[in-house]
Amino acid sequence: MGPAAVPDPAVLLKAYDEQLRTDAETPNATEVVRLGPLRLVTFAGGRGFVTYPGLHGADEVTIRGWVGQVVDHYRRLPEISSVEWKTRGHDRAPGLDEALADHGFVPEEPESIMVGAAAGLAVDVALPEGVMLRRITAEADVRAMSAMADEVFGDPVSDHRATAVLRGMQRWPDWEIWVAEVAGQMISCGRLEPVAGTDFAGIWGGATRPEWRGRGIYRALTAERARSALRIGKTFIHSDSTEYSRPILERSGLVKVSTTTPYTWRR
């Protein structure tokens, strides 16, 4: 199946809602508390996270009550310093944005929810001369990759981020880190995260040095990760993308099925 022969967006969105908006979304949670349809998740490091498969037709008064109870719940946990409420643009959620704002949640930039058939992404992409793709596993390579990504995004090089990736690779051995290199220098990278118990694998952590953009390198990395996903039986690829990366993923065969806007509460 070529990149144009992707399933209908409604089919992709249905698979996303049914398979990913479950415990599969937060495999590294230390605790999950239920509040109606909501899942109030606690992560190590003082982070809270709120998600749900839908709001079950709740009205504005009920939703506002839930938001208040969520804040009360996390206020009672002194280790929690911030909470992300992950909204989805296709949910029916009357008054949710206003209730979140009134309770101290601040919206971040909306992102596109991108989904596609792995087979449609696993295409041959010509690379510029001298560019090679490689899966990395060694700690030194992972730290070099993380440092490159920090530089691309204009952030200080952080050992913390590299360590987090390494811990993720230890906990989930099926994670894959791929890089593009030329003359021994890493110029692009991306991560594949298969989602246990689903047909999905996520692609995350994409970064390409500015001077190498627009030459098909990240698309080639996406295709390579899609081939890996197919080898382990995953048929769908998903990612949340900024407006910068959305066109790149669309050229690779992913479809924008909805949006997600994170709202953040800080103690």
Q: Could you report the per-residue pLDDT of 27-74, keeping only the tens digit for each?
A: 888 999 999 999 999 998 899 999 999 999 999 999 999 999 999 999
pLDDT of residue 249: 87
Contact, 20 vs 40, CB < 8 A? no
> Which SS3 state, helix, strand or coil, does residue 197 take?
coil
pLDDT of residue 95: 98
Which tokens hold the place of 173? Answer: 């051995």
The tens digit of pLDDT for each residue in 108-139 reads 999 999 999 999 999 999 999 999 999 999 99
Which tokens hold the place of 264? Answer: 């953040």
Superfamily of domain 116-259: Gcn5-related N-acetyltransferase (GNAT) (3.40.630.30)
Q: What is the DSSP letter of 171?
A: H
- Domain residue spans of the chain: 21-111, 116-259
Contact, 103 vs 73, CB < 8 A? no
The tens digit of pLDDT for each residue in 216-230 reads 999 999 999 999 999
pLDDT of residue 141: 97
Helix (H) or strand (E) holding 11: helix 9-20
Minimum mean pLDDT range among 5-9, 91-95, 164-168: 5-9
Residue 1 confidence (pLDDT) above 60: no
Residue 112 β-bridge partners: 241, 259
φ and ψ of 190, to 5 deg: -170, 155
Residue 246's contacts (CB-CB under 8 Å, 6 or more residues apart) are 112, 114, 256
Contact, 72 vs 92, CB < 8 A? no
Q: What integer best gives the mean pLDDT of the chain?
A: 93
Question: pLDDT tier at 5 (50, 70, 90 boundaries)?
Answer: low
φ and ψ of 76, to 5 deg: -80, -5
Which tokens hold the place of 121? Answer: 């992404």
pLDDT of residue 247: 87
The tens digit of pLDDT for each residue in 144-156 reads 999 999 999 898 9
Question: pLDDT tier at 251 (50, 70, 90 boundaries)?
Answer: confident
Residue 7 confidence (pLDDT) above 80: no
Q: Which residue has the tokens 């596109």?
A: 112
Residue 2 confidence (pLDDT) above 60: no
pLDDT of residue 3: 44
Helix (H) or strand (E) holding 178: strand 176-182
